[in-house]
Structure 1
Amino acid sequence: MGEGLVNEVSIIIPHFGDPRPTLSLVDSILAGKRESTKVEVIVVDDHSPEPLPALPKPCRVIRRPENGGFGAAVNTGLKVASCEVALVLNSDLTISRDFVRDFVHDAQRFGRAVVSPHVVNGQGRSQWAGRHRPTVRSQAVEWLALPGPIRRTRWWHEVVGHDTRCTAGAIRPVDWVMGACMAIPVEPVRKIGGWREERALVSSDGTYSKANEGVLRDEGEHS
């Protein structure tokens, strides 16, 4: 992400459906904004049935002409992002006041990389931000209607592709990262054509991109 500290970030929020979580996330971002950091917020309305209302500066709403899914929404935001670093956030995330500043600062330790923080759900359970490369086996097991106790075991999480080494405080190189929250270097991702938009491969739960196929590694990047 450059050789010096980056004090600017483009925040891309893919949006579809109920506007309330998105508006709440934008409020949290603006509440934590600092004068020393340039922040632009790009909300990509993925052709929701109810168009997202206009937002105050430095926010911008882009409404796609048709629904394309998570990957297409991220790519729409990347096309207009003006900063060196982009932070992709799920619209239903809950973040602390200083999260954007702290995460972008910490992510720079890893150079030009795709980076995700530790993510937990509303019950405080890890969402395994690091993921293994998807396989037919991992997808088949995930689709099985296994009992809840089995789905909470470390064995199940590993089989379906969750990298269980990625616990709170752990720093691990991984095959790919959870798409719900990730910092990415804008130009290298643009250079390889952005995120793959096939719905079978791209979701906010796990983002399988050209970057995750190793193209970014050829460019000196990593996830």
Structure 2
Amino acid sequence: MASVIVPLFNREELTRQCWAALCSHTPAPAFEAVFVDNGSTDGTGAFLDGIARTAPERVRIIRNPENRGFAAACNQGAREGAGEVLVFLNNDVVVHAGWLEPLVRELGENPGTGVVGARLVYPDGTIQHAGVGVNRKGIPYHLFHRLRADDPLVVERRRFSMVTGACMAVRRHEFLSLGGFDEGFINGHEDVDLCLRYFHGGRDIVYRPDCVATHHESQTEGRFAHCRYNTQRTLRRWSGVLVQDDFNFLFPESERQVPSKALRAAIKLPTCDRDAASGSVVSSMEALARDLCRMGHACEIHHNDDWGRDDLDRDVAIVVPGRVPYRPKPYMLNILLVTGMRDVEHFPFDRAAAYQMVCCVPEAVPTLVAAGLGDRIAEIRLAGEGIDPDSLRAVTARIVRLLDATALAPVRRDSRRTVSVLMATYNRRDLLPGAIESVRAQTHREWELVIVNDGGESAADIVAAFGDDRIVYREAGH
């Protein structure tokens, strides 16, 4: 059974529509509805009393004397719900036939999936939500907004790093172990934060297009009153993580290839001002990233303010020359990308020895050969906004051969920057997930957390649920 948790504040007419659709399109034994009323002052209370009398076996009602917000209401519902699967559903969502089964089946058949999202459409049939990506400014946003509901980009199961909380399914025990939604957000970004905690704990965030619902969107009073605060809170917590990835989804999932060896590339752009990051260079690099992803490789775009990342999850840096010099990391394969003579003007001839390959257009070849780089040149041809596909395939094949043949410096974390956090616990399983999450939320990324159980009930399962290898658990043994 699934517990469908519906947070409410006024708008009785929307709640009526939501409930009617749930009853029409969900088999009765498959769900219970947990309505959390955040102090409604219209007819919502009387309506909830009515459905509780007519369907007491599948309706739970939680009443708050005041509006505690989306996150707190959902957390209350999660604690009270009896189902192992929790579905968070806005009261302005009207589910379609067969909506619940894909969510439950995804979690039942795929242990690696942590969060499941739905295909949400506007009343006119266009897409409201089909996955969340990160744009070049590092801001999460709804991909495919206003596309047709049958567009090839939105009709296949896909993995994202985020989905919307308007219709979202999770396993109850995992959700509670993670501490639930962060109640510090105010009606916005709670879903982004939760998904990122799952994603960076090693779980997949999956979009299921066969779960369809109509979303009237943002009908709650004061929905956008705290946008700036919520965005700033998200960026403070996840600034080192929210890297542009939208190009990864700008082709149908069925077109994604399976290479013999998948590269993990970071394209380094010398752009200091993301607000001004536009024009042909950025667009062409986004096209390159999209094409690499289509070929089955993992790719990120790092603007200048991302260059401080340790890149331990990347094995190739593709660097566009610019006024701001990039310092190559010795444990990565470093490649210079010259797409025109303007790049030659900023070519780092003084650091050329640190680069294992130079990909360049034909007109730049004579200059680079004259500089003694002839043995490192891989000639490329441009096509449209990006690199010609045949040319790109040849270059990636050469990169794979270089990775296999090149002895890169071993990766060593800087122990001088690592902070060891020591946490003792004794029979406080209820508080431990929140304490762990508070450490994981820190912006300093070089840390380890050592949790010592001082003779109380084991908390190994709580620690394991985070899936974070920076967390060490020990039993004191007395």
User: TM-score normalised by the shorter chain: which range applies?
Assistant: 0.7 to 0.9
Amino acid in the other structure paired with 1:49: T
The residue number in structure 2 matching 1:38 is: 30
Structure richer in helix, relative to its length: 2
The residue number in structure 1 matching 2:142 is: 162
Q: Secondary structure at the match of 1:207?
A: helix
The residue number in structure 2 matching 1:12 is: 5
Structure richer in strand, relative to its length: 2
Equivalents in 2 of 1:206, 1:125: separation in Å?
24
> Within 5 A, what are the aligned runs for 1:41-80?
41-50=33-42, 51-53=44-46, 54=49, 55=51, 56-57=55-56, 58-80=58-80
Matched, 1:174 2:160: yes
Shift of 1:67: 1.1
Deviations 1:58-81 (A, max 9, x none): 111211232122111111110111
Shift of 1:130: 1.5
Amino acid in the other structure paired with 1:114: V
* Aligned length in residues: 190
Equivalents in 2 of 1:20, 1:103: separation in Å?
26
Residues 1:168 and 1:216: Cα distance change in structure 2 (over 3 Å): closer
Q: Secondary structure at the match of 1:115?
A: strand
Deviations 1:135-166 (A, max 9, x none): 9x466xxxxxxxxxxxxxxxxxxxx6223499
The residue number in structure 1 matching 2:21 is: 28
The residue number in structure 2 matching 1:214 is: 197
Unaligned runs of 5+ in 1: 1-7, 140-159
The residue number in structure 1 matching 2:81 is: 81
The residue number in structure 1 matching 2:294 is: none
**Structural RMSD (CA):** 2.8
Q: Secondary structure at the match of 1:196?
A: coil
Residues 1:214 and 1:103: Cα distance change in structure 2 (over 3 Å): closer
> Within 5 A, what are the aligned runs for 1:46-195?
46-50=38-42, 51-53=44-46, 54=49, 55=51, 56-57=55-56, 58-106=58-106, 108-111=108-111, 112-132=113-133, 137=137, 161-164=141-144, 167-195=153-181
Residues 1:164 and 1:33: Cα distance change in structure 2 (over 3 Å): closer
Equivalents in 2 of 1:97, 1:171: separation in Å?
18
Whether the 8 Å CA contact 1:14–1:74 is kept in 2: the answer is yes
Amino acid in the other structure paired with 1:16: F
Equivalents in 2 of 1:185, 1:134: separation in Å?
29
Shift of 1:199: 3.2
Pick which of 10-19 and 21-30 moved more: 21-30
Higher relative contact order (CA 8 A, sep 6+): 1
Equivalents in 1 of 2:190, 2:138: separation in Å?
13
Deviations 1:173-209 (A, max 9, x none): 2121111111111111101110112335x53x87223
Whether the 8 Å CA contact 1:138–1:161 is kept in 2: the answer is no
Whether the 8 Å CA contact 2:132–2:142 is kept in 1: the answer is yes
Residues 1:125 and 1:138: Cα distance change in structure 2 (over 3 Å): farther
The residue number in structure 1 matching 2:242 is: none
Q: Percent identity?
A: 24
Equivalents in 1 of 2:66, 2:18: separation in Å?
24
Residues 1:103 and 1:206: Cα distance change in structure 2 (over 3 Å): same
Shift of 1:49: 1.9
Unaligned runs of 5+ in 2: 146-151, 206-478
Whether the 8 Å CA contact 2:181–2:190 is kept in 1: the answer is no
Whether the 8 Å CA contact 1:126–1:167 is kept in 2: the answer is no
Equivalents in 1 of 2:123, 2:4: separation in Å?
23
Deviations 1:87-125 (A, max 9, x none): 111101122243223543355444342111111111112
Whether the 8 Å CA contact 1:188–1:216 is kept in 2: the answer is no
Residues 1:127 and 1:101: Cα distance change in structure 2 (over 3 Å): same
Shift of 1:131: 1.3
Equivalents in 1 of 2:141, 2:91: separation in Å?
24
